[in-house]
Each structure stands twice: as structure tokens, then as C-alpha cells.
Amino acid sequence: MYDLLIKNCRLNGEITNIAIKDGIIAAIGTIADGAAEIFDASNMAAIPPFYNAHNHAAMTLFRGYAEDMELFDWLSNHIWPAEAKLTARDIYTGTKLAALEMIHSGTVYFNDSYWHPEAALRAVNETGMRATLGLLYLGNVSDDAKSANAALIEAAKDNPRVRVSHTPHAIYTVSRETLQQISGMMEKDGRQVHIHVAETAKEVEDCLKEHNKTPVEYLDSLGLINERAMLAHCVYLTEKDREIIAARGAYIAHNPVSNMKLCSGMFDFESAMKAGCKIAIGTDGTSSNNNLSMLDEMKVAALTAKTVSKVPTAGKTADIFRAATITGAEFAGTTAGKIAVGNDADLLLIDLDHVVMSANYDLIADLVYAADPGVIDSVICDGKFLMKNRIIPGETDIIAEAKEVCRKIASWK
């Protein structure tokens, strides 16, 4: 007997059934065996969910907190001082709030970098999402941060949906010595690395002055550009940088909305594609976005690809959708980026009766250019419903607690 049978859904243009057992897609097509739960998905399309390649989830607590500022002023004078006052409980609450928002908009995984990662892990465990959570390195790593890192490694070891990565913030906040230590640790522990790279022109200029290398060249010289690296932003890449990233098999986390909001610049999607780079999509944190919708992110990614290249055929919907699904899923360590027998059972059920989905000439184009979270009826991760018929259990309580934390944060201004 199957755990879940999804009946009458549209998959790749055909009406079919999908059976799930033990978190795996067990069968697709005509299915005779019974199931513990049967879900009628008539007038719904089954698609892979979204994998958010770069996020600071608990920054939902800072949505709208400090607006219309240059990146370094925004970070140094507003965000970092406020973050220093957050408790582990606050970050747990902010991550739960982020999980609600991501699930509603079809995301089942996020690659996170934030304080108190063990608190974020608790939120991930409770919501049923997948995540890569980061060991923190920022400035001089405090004893508290070292303790949090150790607690995360221990607590995450029994959750197969969670990976733990090294997450140095950036080359301008983490010393060469620490970056070298991380490179050495990666060789021993096999973990991934997640770091902001070439996000601003200033970062690149300062790196060239100090090291006579671009940020990508500098990190490559330290052994940190490899197939386990997720490089966030990469707005300012040279042709040589793209060649290095492609040759090493590293991933790029493209964050188009955050890049534009902070006036960091616009990533050259088409040039990176042509160079053979693996491009995923992320939202960044809500304080520099201001939401976690990968649907929004896909649309802006497609439009900026065309704007930067000045070629209307750039940023093809299939390439953008792949970046938001398959490529992110690969980094997450799951086969769920494609709905196929034997793959991990992550999927979305899209309401084809929604007003923007009604024509349905091209499902992927509708998702990239027209859809909002309202088109998503249900979300399944690891074979289990995270949201069913647009309902997430416990949502009201999570929002209420988050509002209390935000009132506390408002008093700090």
C-alpha cells in the first residue's frame, strides 16, 4: 500500500496519477494499489517545488525595518546592531515565519546563513522543510558562535532533510587565515561552503587593491571555489571568473530582487549560462527583498537577463525554471528537482482554475511571468503535505508570536 496517491493531476501535459511511499515517488500512471491517503488533484498540475539557494530566513523579523539605504550603511549601522540583540528564540520564531511564507509560495528548501543556526534547525524540524544550515564565520568567531556551530552539527546529524555547511559571510568580513582554515576543514569533513561573492563593485575594487585578484580568483587561490561551493550574488564577474566557476563546478546563487533593491547591480545570467556555470536562484533575506517568493524571483531573473544582455531571447523560461528547481535541488542533495519514479517526493500542485493560469498555453511561462503564491494549492516535501488546500497547521500561532518579536524590535529604533 502507498502512503499517498495523488489522482487526476496534470503532469507534463497529461492527466495521470502519482503514488508516493516512504518519501519516494513509487509509481506514475494507472495505479491499482490502494493508499493510506488519496488526494484528488483534478484541475491541478504537478510540478517540482522551488529550492531557495540563498537566504537569511529569520530576517523576516526585519521586513521593512531599514529601507532605501546603501548596502554597507544598511548592514553596519542598522541591521548588524539590531541582529546582535536577537535571542535564539527570536530566530526560531523568525525562521518559522519564513517557513510559512516559503511554503505558501512553493518553496520546500532554503540555503540559510544566520545567527543561532541551531534555532533555525528546530524550525526546519517542525515544519518538515529541507534546508542547508550554516556554520557561522564573521569577523573573529566568538566562543558563542563556536558553541552554536558545535550545537548545530550535533543536532542536525539525525535529520536526513538537513545539511550543514560552512558559511563565511564574505571576503571583507572574514580573514584570509579563517578562509584557509575553512578550506582545510572542507577537505576533511566534505561539507559545502556558502559565501557572498562579488556582490558590489566596491568589494571587487577592494579585493583587487589588497590581493591583486578578483574575489573569485582570491577564493579560488584558497581552494574555496569547488563543486561544493554556493557563491551568492556574483554580480561583478569577469570572463575569467566565469571560466573558473564553470571549471570548478561551483554553483551561483542569483538574487535578482535583492541586487536591484540595494543597487548592487544586475547579474549577467546569459553570459554565466554560456560559460557553463550552474545557476540557482535565491531570494536573499526579506529585509533586502522584501519577500521570499521564488515566483517573483523567477520573473525578475528572466527580465534582468534580457535587460543586461539586450537580447529578448535571453533568460528563457526553461532556463529560469531549471535554476529555481533542478539546480537548487542538486545543491540540496535531493533528486526531487524532477518528478519521476524513484526520485524524492517533493512537488507542488498548481490550481489551473486560478485566473492567471486559465489560458494554460505554456505552464512554465505562466509560472515564471504571471503566477503569484495564490496559484499554489498544496505543497509536498519528502512525501508529506506541508500545505494542503492552502492550509498550513499552526499558522495563526506562528504569526502571532512573530508579531510580538517585531514589536520588541521596533522598540530598539
Integer Cα distance of 216 and 240 in angstroms: 9
Sequence-separated (6 or more) residues with CB below 8 Å from residue 30: 17
Q: Assess whether 317 and 342 both reside in one domain.
A: no
Q: Assess whether 77 and 31 both reside in one domain.
A: no
Point out the domain boundary residue: 298, 332, 366. 332
Per-residue pLDDT tens for 36-47? 999 999 999 999
334 phi and psi angles, rounded to 5 deg: -125, 150
Integer Cα distance of 288 and 68 in angstroms: 9
Q: Are 115 and 91 in contact (CB under 8 A)?
A: yes
Per-residue pLDDT tens for 223-281? 999 999 999 999 999 999 999 999 999 999 999 999 999 999 999 999 999 999 999 99
> Closest by alpha carbon to 319, among 336, 335, 302?
302
Q: Assess whether 124 and 173 both reside in one domain.
A: yes
Per-residue pLDDT band for 151 (boundaries 50, 70, 90) equals: confident
Per-residue pLDDT band for 103 (boundaries 50, 70, 90) equals: very high
| Residue 109, strand partner residues | 51, 130
Residue 267 within any structural domain of the chain: yes
Residue 160 within any structural domain of the chain: yes
Residue 320 within any structural domain of the chain: yes
Integer Cα distance of 108 and 124 in angstroms: 10
pLDDT at 160: 96
Residue 158 within any structural domain of the chain: yes
Q: Are 264 and 71 in contact (CB under 8 A)?
A: yes
Please give the residue range of the domain that contains residue 105.
50-332
Q: Assess whether 76 and 134 both reside in one domain.
A: yes
> Closest by alpha carbon to 303, among 287, 289, 317, 291?
317
Q: Assess whether 285 and 342 both reside in one domain.
A: no
Q: How many domains does the chain have?
A: 2
Provide mean pLDDT across the span 159-175: 96
Per-residue pLDDT band for 141 (boundaries 50, 70, 90) equals: low
pLDDT at 375: 98
> Closest by alpha carbon to 57, among 105, 3, 123?
123
Integer Cα distance of 87 and 94 in angstroms: 11
In degrees to the nearest 10, what's the CA dihedral of 343, 367, 384, 63?
120
Q: Assess whether 78 and 149 both reside in one domain.
A: yes
What is the CATH number for 27? 2.30.40.10
Residue 155 within any structural domain of the chain: yes
Q: Assess whether 132 and 237 both reside in one domain.
A: yes
pLDDT at 12: 95
Integer Cα distance of 32 and 28 in angstroms: 11
Residue 283 within any structural domain of the chain: yes
Residue 404 within any structural domain of the chain: no
Provide mean pLDDT across the span 172-189: 94
Provide the whole-model pTM. Answer: 0.97
Best-predicted range by mean pLDDT (153-157, 273-277, 287-291, 356-360): 273-277
What is the CATH number for 248? 3.20.20.140
pLDDT at 142: 63
Tell how strand 14-21 and strand 24-28 pair up.
antiparallel
User: What average pLDDT is seen over the chain?
Assistant: 96
pLDDT at residue 145 greater than cutoff 80: no
pLDDT at residue 146 greater than cutoff 90: no
Distance of CA 406 to the CA centre of its chain: 23
Q: Assess whether 172 and 81 both reside in one domain.
A: yes
Q: Are 44 and 270 in contact (CB under 8 A)?
A: no
Point out the domain boundary residue: 332, 357, 378. 332
Integer Cα distance of 257 and 263 in angstroms: 10
Q: Assess whether 345 and 247 both reside in one domain.
A: no
- Is residue 403 exposed (0-12), middle (13-18) or buried (19+ Cβ within 10 Å)? exposed
Provide mean pLDDT across the span 345-361: 96
Residue 313 within any structural domain of the chain: yes
pLDDT at 75: 84
Q: Assess whether 31 and 87 both reside in one domain.
A: no
- Is residue 410 exposed (0-12), middle (13-18) or buried (19+ Cβ within 10 Å)? exposed
pLDDT at 405: 98
- Please give the C-alpha separations between residue 145 and each of 55, 75, 91, 116, 141, in angstroms, as whole numbers: 19, 19, 14, 8, 6
Q: Assess whether 147 and 259 both reside in one domain.
A: yes
Q: Assess whether 184 and 323 both reside in one domain.
A: yes
